[in-house]
Amino acid sequence: MKALRRVAVTLALLLSLAGAAIGVALWRTDANAIRQAVGARLEATVGQPVTLGPADRSLFPLPAVRIRDVQLGVGPKLSVSTPKLRIELSPLPLLLGEIVLRSFEVERPRLEAVPVAASSGFPPGAAERVRFAVTRVRGRDGTVALGGVNLEHVEAHAAFTETGTPVLEWAGEIAGIGEVEQGFLEATERSGPFSGWGWRASAELNELDLAVLARRLALPEVFGTARGKLSASGHGLRPEQAKLALESADFAARGGFGSATGHAALELDESQRVTLDLGGAALRLFDAIEKPAGTPLLVMGQWGEVDGVRGLRDAKVETGPVRGSGVLELGGASAVVRIHDAALDLAALSGWRPASWVPRAGRVELSRGRVATGPLVLDLAGSFASMAVPWHGVTLLLSGPFNANGTVLACAALGVELAGESVTASGTYDWSSRQLHGELRANGGRVGPIAEAAWGRKDVSGRLYGQIELAGAPGLTSLTGRGELELLDGEIGNVSLARPAGLIKTAEEPPGLDLFDRLSAHFELAGDTIHVSELTLFQKYSVATVTGEIELPDWYANMTGAVMFSPSDLWGRSLRPILRMAGPIWALETHVSTARSADEQRVEAATIEAIRKAEREQRERKKAAAKSNG
């Protein structure tokens, strides 16, 4: 025990003597010389000015020199500052009178876009007074304040390989957004000044709060969390290759164009080229169409400022039914899309879920335009190509140019095709007030295929001419207007006036009895009623004119008039009243008076009026029942 006690005392005495010797050596060390050597070496390495405050010495826990108020330029407008830099010295060389710098500890370093005003000024050859043998650099509780997203509580540790290559490992927090882990930075080339050094770096990003990130970048409302990886390489302060890859399983976004929820992935490269993959997200646009999760959709573009607003230049959309290019502005009060070229293939929407009113076939081509949300305002020019629009049981194909300005859609010569026959439409539609003003023109199209498609009638023919002016809310019973139509060289089953007049005396009806030369009409449309001011039918040996009304939406006619017969086998002419021309327009019943005496005429008129009354009451009951059933 006594021997052990003597050994312990001896060791303590030796350590005390060594500590005292080191303390004396440190006391004799010129702290300012070390300060000047470090400043000169840093300026030579980074090629930027360095400012150093006062320096003093510290013995514990190891001999060191502390330099305060350090600011190191790492670029023309970029610097790292720290309130205290602690430089540890190697003890044994210090006993021999040699100053060897072993490690650096940086307290609360801050990297920010602030230039160093001027160098502290270091004498030539100052760096040669000490030997740099640094094996470790440590930074504690650092901050990176660049742009709108700051790194805080950064812990960094740099070690040097056998060849002297620095390798930095670091971690930190993106203020209020998420964590950065497994940060790595390695120098790959160290020739010349720092501005020429090659490097590569990477870091993992975890639990990023997308809502906070979107607010910091002044972007539309985005929610959810994301994780990913950042990798880069370059020389000096120039990233020559970089990639940020983020992935979110609970991505959610909403704005003026609609909403998106589900899985999303984003990539950003060194040129700020963005690729947003929304294939795994459900997307809803303008409450009109929904893309289910699993349907591919890519949005690509060049991230930056567009007229002072953040967004995507050279933006492109890639998905089955849609292709397009333009500019997407995301930083203003409303999102804006400036379209350079775009097309929508409606038939390819089969894998999507469009609203019931969205056409299921055809194409929409856009040559230029602008779409702004909040509220929706358009400035577009384009064309429809065989766009299929369902309308009251038939399908209309629209083709031709259109433009949209504000909330008004306009067309000057739009082709409207049904069953291979077409009319020309022109007019405007304001979707904010749901008001339509337009005109339809027919110029000789065949009416037979239209009648077969619309009403299933195969016994109708002729060439249609005329025009109709319409105004009001779209809908068969909510429009007003006027028009005139003419059907030439046609045939309509059971339209013969000779038949109800009793002029057909043969056992078999002669051929061509329902042919006519011309059928013309003038009318006005007022909501659920068409007021026919004149409908004239020109047939062989007869001319008839009727007036009355056609009720919508069942197209039920109720008209009266007169017919002039001039058959070739009779002398003179015969003028007969048309007491009733009623029923659906595709199945009209016509009653031509055959009475000769006044009594017969009174009985005939009373009978027809009774029929009309019964029909009117029946229609009113049907309307009431339909209204009560919603």
User: Do residues 63 and 91 touch, judged by C-beta distance below 8 A?
Assistant: yes
Tokens at residue 587, please? 């199945």
User: Is 120 a domain residue?
Assistant: yes
Q: What is the pLDDT of residues 376-426, one digit of tens each?
A: 788 899 999 999 988 777 888 999 999 999 889 999 889 999 999 999 999
Range of the domain at 617: 596-630
User: Is 617 a domain residue?
Assistant: yes
Distance from C-alpha of 89 to C-alpha of 70, rounded to nearest angstrom: 19
Q: Are residue 473 and residue 573 in the same domain, yes or no?
A: yes
User: Is 530 a domain residue?
Assistant: yes
Q: How crowded is residue 627: how many other Cβ atoms within 10 Å of its Cβ? A: 8
Segment 492-496 mean pLDDT: 77
* Identity of the residue numbered 143: T
User: Do residues 348 and 321 touch, judged by C-beta distance below 8 A?
Assistant: yes
Q: How crowded is residue 471: how many other Cβ atoms within 10 Å of its Cβ? A: 16
Percentage with pLDDT > 90 across the chain: 34
- Within 13 A of 243's CA, how many CA atoms are on the CB side? 7
Burial class (CB in 10 A: 0-12, 13-18, 19+), 96: exposed
pLDDT at 14 over 60: no
**pLDDT at position 7, please?**
46
Distance from C-alpha of 543 to C-alpha of 201, rounded to nearest angstrom: 93
Q: Are residue 497 and residue 585 in the same domain, yes or no?
A: yes
Find residue 181's DSSP bridge partners.
204
Q: Are residue 551 and residue 618 in the same domain, yes or no?
A: no
User: Is 606 a domain residue?
Assistant: yes
- Report helix, strand or coil for 37: helix
**pLDDT at position 148, please?**
62
**pLDDT at position 23, please?**
46
**pLDDT at position 22, please?**
42
Q: Tell which wins on pLDDT, 270 or 501.
A: 270
Place of tokens 């000789």: 444
**pLDDT at position 2, please?**
58
User: Is 343 a domain residue?
Assistant: no
Q: Are residue 97 and residue 125 in the same domain, yes or no?
A: yes
Work out how many domains the chain is built from and give that number: 3
Segment 353-380 mean pLDDT: 84
**From 14-23, 337-346, 616-625, the region with the lowest mean pLDDT:** 14-23
User: Is 296 a domain residue?
Assistant: no
pLDDT at 626 over 80: no
Q: Tell which wins on pLDDT, 507 or 132.
A: 132
**pLDDT at position 523, please?**
96
Find residue 180's DSSP bridge partners.
172, 205
Strand bridging mode 238-255 / 529-539: unpaired
Q: Are residue 502 and residue 564 in the same domain, yes or no?
A: yes
User: Is 545 a domain residue?
Assistant: yes
Q: What is the DSSP string of 391-422?
A: ETTEEEEEEEEEEEEETEEEEEEEEEEETTEE
pLDDT at 276 over 90: yes
Helices and strands (H, E) in the chain, number of each type: 6, 37
**pLDDT at position 508, please?**
62
Burial class (CB in 10 A: 0-12, 13-18, 19+), 546: buried
Instruction: Spell out a b/e string for 383-402, using b for 16 or more CB atoms within 10 Å of the CB, else e.
Output: bbbebebeeeeeebbbbbeb
- Report helix, strand or coil for 498: coil
pLDDT at 207 over 70: yes
Distance from C-alpha of 597 to C-alpha of 618, rounded to nearest angstrom: 32
**pLDDT at position 333, please?**
57
Which of 86, 112, 137 is the C-terminal boundary of a domain? Answer: 137
**pLDDT at position 135, please?**
85
* CA-wise closest residue to 453 among 400, 527, 392: 392
Q: Are residue 590 and residue 602 in the same domain, yes or no?
A: no
Q: Are residue 553 and residue 618 in the same domain, yes or no?
A: no
Segment 259-283 mean pLDDT: 93
Instruction: Spell out a b/e string for 422-438, using b for 16 or more CB atoms within 10 Å of the CB, else e.
Output: bbbbebbbeeeeeebbb
pLDDT at 498 over 70: yes
pLDDT, averaged across the chain:
84
Q: Are residue 626 and residue 584 in the same domain, yes or no?
A: no
Segment 141-148 mean pLDDT: 83
Which of 137, 156, 178 is the C-terminal boundary of a domain? Answer: 137
Q: What is the pLDDT of residues 452-486, one digit of tens each?
A: 888 788 888 999 999 999 999 988 788 999 999 99
* CA-wise closest residue to 373 among 495, 286, 443: 286
Segment 535-558 mean pLDDT: 90
User: Is 191 a domain residue?
Assistant: no
Percentage with pLDDT > 70 across the chain: 89
**From 224-233, 350-359, 508-517, the region with the lowest mean pLDDT:** 508-517
Q: Are residue 609 and residue 589 in the same domain, yes or no?
A: no
pLDDT at 359 over 60: yes
Which of 88, 105, 137 is the C-terminal boundary of a domain? Answer: 137
**pLDDT at position 441, please?**
94
Distance from C-alpha of 142 to C-alpha of 139, rounded to nearest angstrom: 7
Q: Are residue 126 and residue 64 in the same domain, yes or no?
A: yes
Q: Are residue 556 and residue 614 in the same domain, yes or no?
A: no
pLDDT at 35 over 60: yes
Q: Are residue 524 and residue 627 in the same domain, yes or no?
A: no
Q: Tell which wins on pLDDT, 570 or 24.
A: 570
- Report helix, strand or coil for 177: coil
**pLDDT at position 521, please?**
95
Beta strands in 447-528 (DSSP E): 460-472, 479-492, 515-526
pLDDT at 12 over 50: no
Backbone CA torsion sign across 17, 22, 23, 24: positive
Segment 361-366 mean pLDDT: 91
Q: What is the pLDDT of residues 84-140, one digit of tens each?
A: 999 888 777 766 667 778 889 999 999 988 888 888 888 888 778 788 888 889 999
Which helix (H) or strand (E) segment is 451 a member of?
A: helix 447-455
pLDDT at 28 over 90: no
